[in-house]
Each structure stands twice: as C-alpha cells, then as structure tokens.
Amino acid sequence: MAENPQQLIPGDPVSPEIARLRKELQKIRGELVFLRGECDTLAVEKANLEKRLREYSEMLEQKVKERTRDLEAINEIATTVSRSLQLDVILRDSLAKVLEVLELDAGAVFLTDERKRELRLMVQHGLPQDVVTQIQVVPLGNGCPGGVVKKGEPLLINDCKSAELKDSPLARYPEFKAMAGIPLESKGRARGVFCLISRNPNRFREEDLKMLVTIGSEIGVAIENAGLYEKSHAHSRKMEELSITDSLTGLHNRRQFYRRLKDEMKRARRQRFPVSLLVLDLDNLKSYNDRMGHLRGDEALRAVAEAITASIRQDVDSGYRYGGDEFAVILPYSTGKDSLEVAERIQRTFNDFRLENTGLSIGLTELDHDEEIDDFVTRADSAMYTAKGEGGNRVHVEDF
C-alpha cells in the first residue's frame, strides 16, 4: 500500500504551525462565544429600551390626552363665562360648568369684600342647607375661601378630616372627602374663590393645579369685566336719567314727556284703553318772583312737583315739567272723570303749601284714539288757558 505524502509524521517540521493554527482557532471560538454573549446582552438592552420607549410613548400619549382634556375643559368654561356680562349669570353658569366638566359633586363661589375684609357666598350647588347658612359670610383667613385669599394661592385638601378643616361645617359630613380652593384672580387681585368639593378621596392632584388656576383666572377676568360693565351701564343710566330730568323739580322734562306720551298713545290705540292728559300752569309766578325773589319762586315750582308726585299713581301715571311754569301729567287707564279727581287732588295738595297769591290752572282732556299727539296736547293746553282766563286756580275739562 502506498504511503500518503501528506500524512503527518511525528517530528515533522509542519506540526508547530498546525498547533499555532489550532490555538488561533480556539481563540476565535472563544471570541465567538463572547460575541454571542454580547449580542444576547445587546438584545436584552434593546428589548429594555423598546419597552421603556413604549412606556414613555404611552405616558406621553396619556399626558397629551390629559392636557387636551384640560384645554377642552378650560375652553368650555371660558366660553360659558364669556356669554354674559351680568355677574349673577356668570357665577351661576361658571359653577355649573366647572362641576359638570370636572365631574365634581358640590361647590360654592365666594366674592371678596376688601373693605369689610370678608367673603360673601354668592352661589352654591350640592351643599347641605345648614352648611349654606353658616358660610354666608366668611372672614378673611377663615376656612377654605378665607385661607385662599389670605395666602394668595390655591388650596388642595384631599382629606376633609384634616386639621385645616377641623372647624369647617363640612367636617360633620364624612361623605365629602376632598376639597380644592381656587382664587378667582384678575390683575393680581383675588376677586373671589371657587371652593370645589368631591366625594372621592385624593380627587385633586398637584397636576390638576395648573388647570384649576387657569380656570380661576378666566372666571376672575369675567368677574372684573362684569363689574366694569355694571359701572359703565350705571353711568349710562345716570346720564340718560339726567338728560330727561328737570334739575329743579326732579320731574321728567319736556323731551321725556313727548317720548312717553307717544308710547302711551300707541298702546292705548292698540289695546283700546283710555288716556287722559293734564296741563298745569302755576298762576302769577312772575309777580310772586318779583315780590318774594327767585329762590322762593323756585320753591313754588318744587311745590307743584311735590303736589303732582303725591297725587298720582306711582309706576302708572307720570308727571313732567313741561317748561317754565307749565307742568303736565299723563294718566293711562284713566277716563276724564277719573282724571278730574286727580286734578282736584293736585290742586288741593298745592294749595296746602299756602303760597301767597298763587294757584294752579289745570286743563284736562281725554284722548281721542284717532287724533295725533300734537292735537291731543293742544286740546289740553287750550283747556288750561281757559281755566286761567276764568280767573285761574281751577280745573277746566275740555269736552271729549
């Protein structure tokens, strides 16, 4: 049998090289084992990173949902409070919307009276009646609302049995578990406080605080705007009243007389009810001024206004200084006969002032539903001049 020329022979000079290669191969096998371990470690780390990434993504998604919910809640409440400029409507609707959106059980709104250093309950929902009675007025520093204003920051209480509420009327009601007090701020001032109450323990979280403060600011601005509107509206009403009021007598003036008479005539035609008109003249005013002075003359004019006001039906009839020494009275729902009694009563009341050599000449007429306003006034005016021509200090009834 022929011998294999490649067969290794002991002592062959190639053997050390083979040994070295074997050693290298063993080293490579060790490195492969190490790399497999490293790969396994990297795979675990990758799995852990993927898990953390999923968790972070879920957490981020949850925070986005919560933030979206908060923004939607803020938007709903802001929309609600912007619908009105009337304070009572704003407070009532905003409390209802906050309780609805945040799914809370009860709440109350207090407004700050800085001069008296107290808060007043304006509106509430879901509170027991005895609690409502006791919290009508809360001194600054007391209870949830007083503490919020005094500290100038929100108050979260997730245990209504805590020392902070030991003196609160709510302490007697174990079903109320958690409370939040939110300042209603505008321009750095606490206009009031929202007290929100839940039956769920730990209902309010620190994460909710930013949203609640934002809601409080929205309502605080709405409260301030309502106050500004009321002041502006009151000023407008005052200016309007001044523009239609005679400054000497306090009666409405000629401008308002025609405005009111026009309205009464329209209603009378539509509803077919009677309207009577008196035109009055203060007799001998010029000579009275000459003798007694203009200050006494002004007193005589005021006496006419007082006699009219004392003799007519409030909120039905109306008296006016028509101009100079002339006055007028509109008498809705009054026939000529009814109005004659009013005219005589005005005359008697004025005469009781006993102003020397003065009196009232009064013309009276009843509306013809087909006549125009100028014709109606002219007929009453003519009746007054007739009374004056007959000697004055009397009533003349114009035929109708």
**Which residue matches tokens 């400054």?**
247
Q: Which of 355, 360, 357 is nearest to 296 (CA)?
A: 355
Which residues are annotated as catalytic?
Answer: 325
Neighbours of 104 (CB within 10 A): 22
Report the DSSP beta bridge partners of residue 124. Answer: 108
Q: Which DSSP symbol is given to 233?
A: H
For residue 318, give the nearest of 386, 374, 239, 262 by alpha carbon.
262
**Packing angle of the helix pair 209-243, 87-102 (nearest 10 deg):** 160
What is the b/e burial string over 255-285, where b = at least 16 CB atoms within 10 angstroms of the residue's CB?
A: ebbbebbeebbeebeeeeebbbbbbbbbbbb
- Residue whose C-alpha is closest to residue 325's, from 346, 340, 303: 303
What single-letter DSSP state applies at residue 170? G
Neighbours of 293 (CB within 10 A): 11
| Contact by Cβ (8 Å): 214, 207 | no
**Number of alpha carbons in the 13 Å side-chain half-sphere of residue 184:** 27
Q: List helix spans (H) across 135-208.
A: 143-151
264 contacts 330 by C-beta, under 8 angstroms: yes
User: Which three-class secondary structure state does DSSP give residue 272?
Assistant: coil
Other C-beta atoms closer than 10 Å to the C-beta of 367 total: 26
CB-side neighbour CA atoms (13 Å) of 257:
22
